């Protein structure tokens, strides 16, 4: 199995790999497994599929894949949720189906909660909490949440990581990485979507989510970005009761933003809440470059005074300065309906393939913008515009940055909440001052002067190093040490198949030679006898027969007669 998947796997990962492949076949993805050259699992998978295949055979491939991910457990559910935001690399039907994946699972027993507290905090529950609810408030695949009270009387919520989840996820990551390596080798035409990089991105994301202390630091960082802003509240992190496996936060007693009747009864201003929420999110994106990646209504509570509190910081998006500049230019191009500017930005970003047809892309962008031309921007959801635009761009195999995909999904959620609170909510109007300010800062004299100085410094360093670099190149040429590496794309599969054919042909020749040699020995009466025949001839026939059977089985298992 280690050689099969191309990476080193431990015993647990090997067992998990067999289970994953079996489940995928049982949900009707036998051809995919065969293409990955894992045909030895197909026979076993066929039996599973025939047992439960009648139920799933009528479903679409996207539905069957969603069911397979749910059957494979937490890691694969999380992977599906990540892929649901990546309509630039998977078909829209799959992205929509993966968005239905649920992360709700039964809670683990209170005895395990006690054990986890003891291991993480170094003592019994009663040493840290005066009251601790045995039943969880919520349970998910990574952790579950309990309500508790500190000895000081402060109410808190305690998030506790599931026992064994780290080992389970790490085994699944090993399997996913092995399958990703196989996919890159077996499907070189899809290499631009970089399966290994995608799994690496997912691994980093889920490892961050499993480290609960990191979520605590994230909350404190976002709170520091909004220090002094009375319109927002962030739950306090109890650092002495927080570890990688336990997170203790202030209990927030507020009203869910989706409970409109409760907001009305409390006398809160829904229009003001919508504006404040949008402004806070846009500040996170365009000013801080550090934004909440999952601002759905269940994570937003409203406190007295129309104060907004965001919960659950397990999913965070990051945009560096250059990405924010790209985003501002991109948003300006979308809102001004300028396909030429969008195209130039995409070409400049560098996330394109050599086969890009820029004329076709420009034509599709113009058609897309024309479709929205008759509709006032104030009536068009900005999040939907971005999502559909990304789909148009993805059709030309342009690889969008993952955080931009997360941003588009988060923007849809924020805009949806705004319109739920206020039917007249206009995201374009809320966005315009932020975009204009970011654009003005981008082209301010001070900023341009700093950029010019930085580029001049880089250019001077290049000129300074150029003589030495040229000297090194000439020296290598003189010493015949100059090398050019060429990459033969798509030839690896041909070489492997040629090796297999050569090995089978060699084995056939060896078998034939053994049979001929044994037949010659059979004509003599020399040497020891076995059952009345020359022993060496008998051994030769036996060995040739076993080799022949092994060769026939290998040919049948490969599926190529």
How do strand 143-149 and strand 300-303 relate by DSSP bridges? unpaired
The catalytic position among 294, 312, 469, 525 is 294
Instruction: Tell which phi-psi region holds residue 248, choosing left (phi > 0), alpha (psi between -120 and 50) or beta.
Output: beta
Q: Note if 422 is an active site residue.
A: no
- Identify which of 312, 268, 307, 278 has the alpha carbon closest to the alpha carbon of residue 294: 312
214 is written with which tokens? 């990191």
- Identify which of 275, 273, 277, 278 has the alpha carbon closest to the alpha carbon of residue 263: 273
For residues 85 and 169, what is the distance between their CA atoms, to the nearest angstrom?
21
For residues 14 and 5, what is the distance between their CA atoms, to the nearest angstrom?
10
Angle at 82 between CA 60 and CA 117, to 5 degrees: 120
Q: What is the DSSP letter of 551?
A: H
Element spanning 495, H or E: helix 491-522
- Identify which of 323, 233, 238 has the alpha carbon closest to the alpha carbon of residue 286: 323
- The sign of the CA dihedral 234, 235, 238, 239 is negative
426 is written with which tokens? 């206009």
Phi, psi of 228 (to 5 degrees): 85, 0
Q: What is the DSSP letter of 317?
A: E
Query: Other C-beta atoms within 10 Å of 145: how many?
Result: 19
How long is the chain? 561
Active-site annotation, residues: 294
């Amino acid at each position: 199995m280690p050689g099969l998947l191309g990476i080193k796997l431990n015993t647990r990962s090997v067992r998990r790999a067999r289970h994953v492949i079996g489940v995928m076949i049982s949900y009707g993805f036998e051809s995919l497994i065969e293409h990955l050259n894992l045909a030895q699992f197909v026979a076993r998978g066929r039996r599973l599929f025939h047992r439960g295949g009648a139920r799933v055979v009528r479903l679409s491939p996207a539905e069957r894949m969603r069911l397979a991910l749910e059957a494979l457990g937490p890691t694969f559910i999380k992977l599906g949720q990540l892929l649901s935001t990546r309509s630039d690399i998977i078909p829209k039907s799959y992205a929509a189906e993966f968005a239905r994946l649920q992360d709700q699972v039964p809670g683990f027993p209170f005895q395990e909660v006690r054990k986890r507290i003891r291991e993480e905090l170094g003592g019994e529950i009663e040493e840290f909490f005066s009251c601790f609810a045995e039943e969880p408030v919520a349970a998910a695949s990574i952790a579950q949440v309990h309500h508790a009270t500190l000895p000081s009387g402060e109410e808190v919520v305690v998030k506790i990581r599931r026992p064994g989840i780290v080992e389970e996820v790490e085994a699944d990551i090993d399997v996913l990485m092995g399958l990703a390596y196989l996919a890159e080798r077996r499907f070189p035409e899809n290499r631009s979507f970089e399966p290994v990089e995608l799994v690496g991105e997912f691994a980093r994301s889920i490892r961050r989510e499993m480290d609960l202390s990191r979520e605590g630091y994230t909350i404190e960082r976002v709170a520091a970005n909004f220090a002094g802003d009375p319109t927002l509240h962030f739950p306090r992190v109890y650092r002495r009761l927080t570890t990688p496996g336990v997170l203790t936060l202030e209990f927030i007693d507020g009203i869910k933003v989706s409970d409109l009747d409760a907001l009305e009864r409390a006398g809160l201003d829904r229009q003001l809440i919508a504006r404040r929420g949008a402004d806070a999110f846009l500040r996170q994106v365009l000013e801080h470059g550090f934004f909440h990646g999952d601002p759905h209504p269940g994570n937003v509570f409203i406190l007295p005074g129309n104060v907004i509190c965001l919960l659950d910081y397990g999913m965070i998006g990051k945009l560096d300065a250059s990405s924010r500049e790209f985003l501002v230019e991109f948003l300006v191009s979308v809102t001004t309906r300028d396909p030429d500017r969008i195209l130039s930005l995409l070409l400049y970003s560098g996330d394109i393939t050599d086969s890009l047809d820029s004329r076709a892309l420009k034509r599709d962008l113009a058609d897309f913008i024309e479709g929205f031309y008759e509709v006032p921007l104030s009536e068009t959801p900005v999040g939907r515009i971005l999502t559909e635009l990304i789909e148009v761009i993805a059709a030309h195999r342009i690889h969008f940055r993952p955080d931009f995909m997360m941003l588009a999904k988060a923007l849809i959620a924020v805009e949806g909440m705004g319109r739920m609170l206020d039917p007249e909510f206009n995201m374009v109007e809320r966005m315009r001052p932020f975009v204009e300010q970011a654009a003005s800062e981008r082209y301010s004299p001070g900023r341009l002067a700093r950029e010019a100085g930085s580029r001049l410094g880089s250019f001077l360093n290049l000129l300074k190093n150029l003589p030495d670099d040229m000297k090194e190149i000439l020296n290598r040429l003189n010493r015949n040490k100059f090398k050019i590496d060429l990459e033969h794309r798509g030839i690896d599969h041909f070489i492997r198949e040629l090796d297999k054919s050569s090995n089978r042909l060699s084995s056939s020749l060896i078998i034939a030679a053994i049979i001929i040699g044994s037949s010659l020995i059979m004509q003599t009466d020399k040497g020891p006898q076995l059952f009345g025949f020359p022993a060496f001839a008998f051994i030769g026939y036996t060995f040739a027969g076993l080799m022949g059977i092994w060769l026939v089985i290998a040919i049948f298992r490969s599926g190529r007669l």
